[in-house]
Amino acid sequence: MTGCQIHHFADASNYAFGVVSYVCFTNVNQDVHFALILSKSRVSPPKKATIPRLELTAAILTVRLFKVLFKKMFQLVSIHLRQTELLKSERALV
């Protein structure tokens, strides 16, 4: 793997708003692969709101989901690094 990017998209309408997050991997052959990470949708409130207000609400939801995603990814990387260090230390003992 030579590259990894996370993309977030948010959109809103009079009926609902939503967010989608996906990851884009590039391998050594420059092949690009995409994978859905998470998505979230919500129904618009019954009280009429303007489209810009709903777009802003979708943007806020994007930031909240990014924070959750970033925290989980950091935990996974930390666990992986700890496991790697444990393997290195076990190999050093052998």
H-helix or E-strand spanning residue 57: helix 51-93
Question: For 68-88, what is each residue's pLDDT tens digit?
Answer: 888 888 777 776 666 666 566
**Mean predicted confidence (pLDDT) in 28-45:** 91
pLDDT of residue 55: 94
pLDDT of residue 75: 78
pLDDT above 60 (res 94):
no
The backbone torsions φ and ψ at residue 93, rounded to the nearest 5 degrees and listed phi first, read -75, -25
Point out the least confidently predicted range of 17-21, 56-60, 71-75.
Answer: 71-75
- Bridge partners for 16 per DSSP: 43
pLDDT of residue 62: 92
Name the pTM for this structure.
0.71
Residue partners of 32: CB distance under 8 A and separation at least 6: 24, 25, 26
